[in-house]
A and B are shown apart, each in its own frame.
Chain A
Amino acid sequence: MLGVFQGLKITIKHFFSPKVTRMYPYEKRVLPERSRGLIQLITEPETGVLKCEACLLCEKVCPPRAITIRYEERNAFRWRPLARPKSKAAYYRPREVAAYPYEGPRPLSPMVLAPVSEADGDDAWLDGLLEEQGDLVGALRAIQERYGHLPRRVLMKLARNLGVSVSELFSSASLSPDLRLDPISDGFVAGATNGDSSALVLPGPQALQAVERQPNPSQGGGASGAE
Chain B
Amino acid sequence: MRPLISVARRPTPDSRLVAAAEIVRGHLGPRLLSISYQAGDILCLEVDRSDLLATATFLRDAPELRFDFLSCVSGVDMVSHMLVVYHLHSLSNRLTAQLKVKADAREPVVDSVSAIWPTANWHEREAFDMLGIQFNGHPNLERLLLVEGFVGYPLRRNYQLPRRRWPHGRMVEEGGPVDERS
Contacts and interface: CB of A to CB of B under 8 A. Distances in A.
Do A and B touch (CB < 8 Å)? Answer: yes
A208 B156 contact: no
A202 interface: yes
B79 A203 contact: yes
Given A208-B157, A212-B158, A212-B160, A219 B165 contact: no
16 contacts: A180-B168, A186-B165, A201-B81, A203-B78, A207-B79, A211-B158, A212-B158, A216-B158, A216-B159, A216-B177, A218-B151, A218-B177, A219-B159, A219-B177, A220-B175, A226-B134
Main SS at interface, chain A? loop
Interface residues of A, number: 30
Nearest to B167: A184
Interface string B141-181: 00000000001110011111101111111000001111010
B153 A216 contact: yes
B132 A203 contact: no
Interface string B78-89: 111100000000
A182 B170 CA distance: 11
Interface string B118-156: 000000000000001010000000000000000111001
B166 A219 contact: no
A152 B88 CA distance: 62
A188 interface: yes
A187 B159 contact: no
Which 9 A-B residue pairings sit nearest by Cβ, starting from the closest? A203-B79, A187-B165, A190-B161, A219-B152, A211-B158, A219-B177, A216-B152, A187-B164, A187-B166
A207 B178 CA distance: 25
* Centre residue among A184, A200, A212, A220 by max chain B CB count within 10 A: A220
Interface in A31-84: none
Nearest to B177: A219
Contacts of A226: 132, 134, 153
Nearest to A186: B165
Contact of B163 (A188, A208, A214): A188
Contacts of A192: 157
A189 interface: yes
Given A201-B80, A202-B78, A218 B153 contact: yes
Nearest to B174: A187
Interface string A162-197: 000000000000000000101011111110100000
A185 B166 contact: yes
Given A208-B157, A216-B160, A200 B152 contact: no
Given A184-B167, A219-B159, 10 more contacts: A180-B169, A182-B169, A188-B164, A201-B78, A208-B79, A211-B79, A214-B158, A216-B159, A219-B151, A219-B178
